[in-house]
A and B are shown apart, each in its own frame.
Chain A
């Protein structure tokens, strides 16, 4: 994992994984379909990415498919020209 992938993975583990959930979060672990991040919580994840990567993610791009794994999230950030991680 690169630095940004680790940052996203660690944030997901810290904020969204239930404390008794022993699943390992890898690059392709399904986050939305796996029930770890729900569609409402995607908003706080989006805010985190916008802040850490100094970019704006249009609502149309913040889809369950785009947020379904650490890999797809980081691909989205890269595609939108995110600087991350900053600050």
Chain B
């Protein structure tokens, strides 16, 4: 039985009922995110309104209305069901850069009843294979530049039947590989989408923990109630907005608030498929007259480096609301944004598992720079005493940040791993894995992680995955990966490596290990620094004590060392 506790009454009365009414949904009726984000809006007369303003790094631009969105997602859904032979409930991976097909594919998969598995296209061979293997993925939708990685993974994935290439052109495709040229394909005007139950699995996002390989966070269609409402109430999205969310849909922000939240509200969104450059970003904000911008502290700190003067060279007068997510927003960034844009970034807090924002600085609320804000109405949050598991009442005292599991967007389980999900609960509270405190005014303040997971640039990276990949290197005997403080990314990965006999530390080896990790896992998981050490601190039972290494990096006390093995 799922530890998530929802009552039907919740969607008849109270805050979630408001969202249900807005989405024209009633308990007991089917609910499908794909339909909500396209067909429903066309029925409301928004068919000619721009849904997606897309641009790539070369300046190529495309514009799609909500009616385009409806027809193109119907066309893609029909292709997936009728030509690719995919069935409801099967996992279908999107392994794409931020091309339009990524956004259409997301809704198309949901319309035909599939489970979307979006993966960051910079993932290397091992990261890709691990996630496809765990999900038992039936199909991958990709583009030719990533096809090599998908083909190599498929050699070891018997359940992966089909690979769809959206830009195949004249490329010779092999068995089980299909080309989909969406722009040239005959359009399907009406696809009979699956009338999914609200509890039908919708999206599978992989997230890292301290132990084991990443887990698939299993969302359901009902999550749209949370995503749509918070998009309006927290991000302040309204009918006249042009909205830009920087996040890649390989991560949960890029789907909950880069696809579902804005489009469920019929909001026009702009997408830039390009890497970071301050001037390019400002030019994009100016060109599309972006009004609401959802960004991340890492990006904001990179913009800060280039100064307010650069920001002032662009006409950013359309901007009216700024919000941030991914890691705590430092006070300096809030203050800087007031100088650069005339308004503060509003920090928001949530995670892959919560599916939607749970704690936030709401529009109009006094922003305390550095604070996470207050719980979103309808979400009950507390800080628990680690020993007793009871809520802490003393202001300012740090503890485990926990949530009552009674809001619609919380995941229902980890894919094929319900025990790991059950372990996230204590005394009827869902434990976020973060530590926080609450001040006398009810504002929440982030303290840090309660485990060894590394939050780099707003993305969680698990030490186990890095250490496992590192051990594959012929020179590495043992390793430990920990978080190291970083001025831009908050944390970056630092690896401690013990070499096998016959290998000596040198610059070539350091670079080789870094590049190996980047290719096998991802740029995020690549250690930004490697320390070659003669041994690693361990418990008497032989377990590596990452917390000792981490404490050294952060200049913190190392804590109880009574279980440490003596050299």
Q: Which of B184-192, B272-280, B328-336, B531-539 contacts A (4 or more CB under 8 A)?
A: B272-280
Residues of the B chain whose Cβ atoms lie less than 8 Å from the Cβ of A30: 57, 275, 277
Contact in complex: B57, A20 (CB < 8 Å): no
| A18 located at the interface, meaning its Cβ lies under 8 Å from any Cβ of chain B in the complex | yes
Q: Knowing A18-B148, A65-B277 are in contact, say whether A40-B523 is a contact too (CB < 8 A).
A: yes
Complex Cα gap A63–B472 (Å): 32
Contact in complex: A18, B146 (CB < 8 Å): yes
B97 closest partner in A (C-beta): A35
- B280-316 residues with Cβ-Cβ distance < 8 A to A are 280, 298, 302, 305-306
- Chain B interface: which size bin? 35 or more
Complex Cα gap A15–B519 (Å): 8
| A24 located at the interface, meaning its Cβ lies under 8 Å from any Cβ of chain B in the complex | no
Contact in complex: B146, A33 (CB < 8 Å): no
| A27 located at the interface, meaning its Cβ lies under 8 Å from any Cβ of chain B in the complex | no
Complex Cα gap A47–B457 (Å): 20
Contact in complex: A34, B457 (CB < 8 Å): no
Complex Cα gap A43–B508 (Å): 14
| B17 located at the interface, meaning its Cβ lies under 8 Å from any Cβ of chain A in the complex | no
Interface 1/0s, chain A 37-76, versus B by CB < 8 A? 1111101100110110000000000011100100000000
Complex Cα gap A75–B269 (Å): 38
- B93-152 residues with Cβ-Cβ distance < 8 A to A are 97, 122, 143-149
Contact in complex: B275, A40 (CB < 8 Å): no
A31 closest partner in B (C-beta): B275
**A interface size (C-beta, 8 A):** 27
Contact in complex: B144, A20 (CB < 8 Å): yes
Say which residue of B279, B280, B302 sits within 8 Å of A39 (CB atoms): B302
| A32 located at the interface, meaning its Cβ lies under 8 Å from any Cβ of chain B in the complex | yes
Contact in complex: A43, B457 (CB < 8 Å): no
Residues of the B chain whose Cβ atoms lie less than 8 Å from the Cβ of A3: none
Say which residue of B143, B144, B145, B526 sits within 8 Å of A41 (CB atoms): B526
Residues of the A chain whose Cβ atoms lie less than 8 Å from the Cβ of B526: 40-41, 43-44
B165 closest partner in A (C-beta): A20
Q: Which of B228-236, B497-505, B510-518 contacts A (4 or more CB under 8 A)?
A: B510-518
A36 closest partner in B (C-beta): B275
Q: Knowing A38-B122, A41-B523, A43-B526 are in contact, say whether A33-B275 is a contact too (CB < 8 A).
A: yes
Complex Cα gap A37–B275 (Å): 8
Residues of the B chain whose Cβ atoms lie less than 8 Å from the Cβ of A28: none
Contact in complex: A18, B277 (CB < 8 Å): no
Contact in complex: B507, A47 (CB < 8 Å): yes
Residues of the B chain whose Cβ atoms lie less than 8 Å from the Cβ of A32: 275-277
Complex Cα gap A63–B302 (Å): 9
Complex Cα gap A39–B523 (Å): 8
| B26 located at the interface, meaning its Cβ lies under 8 Å from any Cβ of chain A in the complex | no
Contact in complex: A47, B302 (CB < 8 Å): no
Nearest Cβ in chain B — how far from A9, in angstroms? 17
Say which residue of B143, B275, B515 sits within 8 Å of A38 (CB atoms): B275
Residues of the A chain whose Cβ atoms lie less than 8 Å from the Cβ of B277: 30, 32-33, 64-65, 68
Nearest Cβ in chain A — how far from B127, in angstroms? 14
| B179 located at the interface, meaning its Cβ lies under 8 Å from any Cβ of chain A in the complex | no
Say which residue of B148, B302, B524 sits within 8 Å of A19 (CB atoms): B148
Q: Knowing A33-B57, A40-B457 are in contact, say whether A20-B305 is a contact too (CB < 8 A).
A: no
A42 closest partner in B (C-beta): B523
Residues of the B chain whose Cβ atoms lie less than 8 Å from the Cβ of A39: 275-276, 298, 302, 457, 488
Contact in complex: B274, A33 (CB < 8 Å): yes
Contact in complex: A51, B508 (CB < 8 Å): yes
Contact in complex: B510, A47 (CB < 8 Å): yes
| B528 located at the interface, meaning its Cβ lies under 8 Å from any Cβ of chain A in the complex | yes
- B144-178 residues with Cβ-Cβ distance < 8 A to A are 144-149
Contact in complex: B507, A35 (CB < 8 Å): no
Contact in complex: B57, A21 (CB < 8 Å): no
Complex Cα gap A50–B484 (Å): 22
A32 closest partner in B (C-beta): B275
Residues of the B chain whose Cβ atoms lie less than 8 Å from the Cβ of A65: 277-279, 306
Complex Cα gap A47–B507 (Å): 8
Contact in complex: B274, A47 (CB < 8 Å): no
Residues of the A chain whose Cβ atoms lie less than 8 Å from the Cβ of B274: 33-35
Nearest Cβ in chain B — how far from A85, in angstroms? 14
Complex Cα gap A30–B273 (Å): 13
A38 closest partner in B (C-beta): B523
Nearest Cβ in chain B — how far from A67, in angstroms? 10
| 27 A-B pairs (CB sep. < 8 Å) | A18-B148, A20-B145, A20-B147, A21-B145, A32-B275, A32-B276, A32-B277, A33-B57, A33-B274, A33-B277, A34-B274, A35-B97, A38-B122, A38-B523, A39-B276, A39-B298, A40-B528, A41-B518, A44-B511, A44-B526, A47-B514, A51-B508, A63-B305, A64-B275, A64-B277, A65-B277, A65-B279
A-side residues, CB < 8 A to B, are 15, 18-22, 30, 32-41, 43-44, 47-48, 50-51, 63-65, 68
Kindly list 5 other residue pairs between chains A and B, CB separation below 8 angstroms, not including A20-B145, A40-B456.
A18-B148, A33-B57, A39-B275, A64-B275, A65-B278
The 6 closest A-B pairs by CB, nearest first: A40-B523, A20-B145, A21-B145, A19-B148, A33-B277, A18-B145
